[in-house]
Chain A
Amino acid sequence: MIHIDRSMVGLAAATLILAAMGGFVPDWLAFILTLALAKALVVQGVVLQMRAGLVSFGQGLFFCVGGYAVGMGGQFFGIHDAPLLLVVGALAAVALAAVLGLLMTRYRDIFFAMLSLALSMILFGVLVKSSDLGSTDGFNVHPATFFGHSFSNESYKSVLYLLTVFLAGGGALILHMVHHSGLGRIWEAIRENEIRVEYLGLSPRWLLYANYLLAAAFAALGGGLTALATGHIDPEMAFWTTSGEFVFIALLGGTAHVAAPFIAAILFAFVRTYAIEFTPHTWQMILGFVLLGIIVFLPKGLWSLVQSKRRAKA
Chain B
Amino acid sequence: MSTPILQTKALCRSFGAVTAARDLDVTIAPGEIVGVIGSNGAGKTTFINMVTGYLPPSSGQILFEGRSILGKPPRAIIRMGMARSFQVAQLFPELTVLENMLIALVAAEGPRPSFILPMATAKRVRQAKDLLEEFGVERFGDSVVSAVPQGARKLIDIAMALISTPRMLLLDEPTSGVSVEEKFGLMDTVMRAVRRHGVTVLFVEHDMEIVERYVSRVLAFYSGEIISDGTPSQVFADEKVRELVIGHGHATDKKRNMA
Contact = CB atoms under 8 A, between A and B. Distances in A.
Contacts of A195: 54, 90, 258-259
Contacts of B117: 1-2, 181-182
B73 interface: yes
Contacts of A199: 52, 74-75, 78, 83-84, 90, 161
Chain A's interface: helix, strand, loop or mixed, by majority? helix
Interface in B52-108: 52, 54, 73-75, 78-79, 83-84, 90-95, 99, 102-104, 106-108
Of the four ranges (under 10, 10 to 19, 20 to 34, 35 or more), the interface on chain B belongs to 35 or more
Nearest to A199: B74
Interface stretch (A88-96, A119-127, A161-169, A186-194): A186-194
Interface residues of A, number: 29
Interface in A183-213: 183-186, 188-189, 192-193, 195-203, 207, 210
Contact of A200 (B52, B108, B119, B258): B108
A281 interface: no
B118 interface: yes
A189 B102 CA distance: 11
B102 A202 contact: no
B249 interface: no
Interface string A243-285: 0000000000000000000000000000000000000000000
Interface string A109-130: 0000000000000000000000
A183 B114 contact: yes
Interface in A79-112: none
Interface in B5-40: none
Nearest to B122: A3
A183 B164 contact: no
A17 interface: no
A180 interface: yes
Given A182-B106, A193-B91, A198 B111 contact: no
Contacts of B92: 188-189, 192-193, 196
B116 interface: yes
Contacts of B107: 186, 197, 200-202
A184 to B, nearest CB: 7
A199 B91 CA distance: 11
B160 A186 contact: no
B113 interface: yes
Contacts of B84: 199
A21 interface: no
Interface string B99-136: 10011101111010111111110000000000000000
Contacts of B120: 180
A189 B99 CA distance: 9
A259 B43 CA distance: 51
B146 to A, nearest CB: 10
Contacts of A185: 95, 99, 102-103, 106, 119
B75 A202 contact: yes
A159 interface: no
A202 B78 CA distance: 9
A298 interface: no
Contacts of A1: 117
A177 interface: yes
A181 B111 contact: no
Contacts of B73: 198, 203
Nearest to A1: B117
A214 B116 CA distance: 13
User: Which of A2, A184, A214 gathers the greatest number of chain B CB atoms within 10 Å?
Assistant: A184
Contacts of A178: 115-116
A102 B90 CA distance: 27
A182 B91 contact: no
Given A193-B90, A193-B93, A195-B258, A200 B115 contact: no
A214 B115 CA distance: 11
Contact of B78 (A181, A189, A201): A201
B119 A180 contact: yes
Chain A CB within 10 A, most for which of B107, B115, B117: B115
Given A193-B91, A193-B92, A195-B90, A200 B103 contact: yes
B113 A186 contact: yes
B111 A203 contact: yes
B118 A181 contact: yes
Contacts of A189: 92, 95, 103
Nearest 10 Cβ contacts at the A-B interface: A182-B113, A200-B107, A192-B92, A182-B106, A201-B78, A183-B115, A196-B90, A183-B113, A185-B119, A182-B119
Given A2-B117, A181-B113, 15 more contacts: A2-B118, A177-B116, A178-B115, A186-B106, A186-B107, A188-B92, A192-B94, A193-B90, A193-B91, A200-B103, A200-B163, A200-B164, A201-B107, A202-B75, A202-B107
12 contacts: A181-B116, A182-B106, A182-B115, A182-B117, A183-B113, A184-B119, A186-B113, A189-B103, A199-B90, A202-B107, A203-B73, A214-B115
